[in-house]
Structure 1
Amino acid sequence: MNAWNNCGREFKNINQSHYFGEKPKTIDEYILAQDEDKREDLRYLKDILHEALPDAVEKISWSMPTFWKEHNILHFAASKKHIGFYPGPKAVNHFSKELEAYKTDKGTIRIPYGKIDKDLIIKIAKWCIETGNHA
Structure 2
Amino acid sequence: MWQCPKCGREFKNQDQNHFCSEAPTTIDAYIEAQAEEVQPLLHQVRNTIRTALPEAEERISWKMPTYWKRHNIIHFAAFKKHIGVYPGENAMVHFAGRLTEYKTSKGAIQLPYDKPLPLDLIAEIAKWSYEWLS
TM-score range, shorter chain: 0.7 to 0.9
Cα shift readout 1:42-95 (whole Å, capped 9, x = no counterpart): 000000000100000000001000000011101000001100100001101110
Q: Pairwise CA RMSD of aligned residues?
A: 1.9
Question: Per the alignment, do residues 63 and 14 of structure 1 end up closer, same or farther by CA in structure 2, a change over 3 Å counting?
Answer: closer
Q: Structure 1 CA distance, aligned partners of 2:29 and 2:48?
A: 18
Shift of 1:35: 0.3
Gaps of 5+ in 2: none
TM-score for the superposition, normalised by structure 2 = 0.88
SS of residue in 2 equivalent to 1:37: coil
Task: Pick closer, same or farther for the CA change 1:10–1:22 going to 2, 3 Å.
Answer: closer
Q: Does 1:100 align with 2:105?
A: no
- 1:1-135 equivalences under 5 Å are 5-6=4-5, 7-11=7-11, 13=12, 15=14, 17=16, 18-113=18-113, 114-132=115-133
Alignment size in residue pairs? 129
2:96 alignment partner, SS class:
coil
Aligned partners of 1:103 and 1:95: how far apart in 2?
13
The separation in 1 between residues aligned to 2:47 and 2:13, in whole angstroms, is 37
Q: Per-residue deviation at 1:16?
A: 6.1
- C-alpha deviation, 1:23, in angstroms: 1.6
Moved over 6 A (4+): none
CA contact (8 A) 2:4 2:10 kept: no
Q: Which residue type is aligned with residue 52 of structure 1?
A: A
CA distance in 2, matches of 1:57, 1:51: 12
Q: Normalised by the size of structure 1, how large is the TM-score?
A: 0.87
Ranges in structure 1 where 5+ consecutive residues have no aligned partner: none
Confirm or deny: 8 A CA contact 1:5 1:19 kept in the other structure. no
**Which deviations, in whole Å up to 9, do the C-alpha atoms of 1:92-123 show, x marking residues without a partner?**
11100000111000100001125211111111
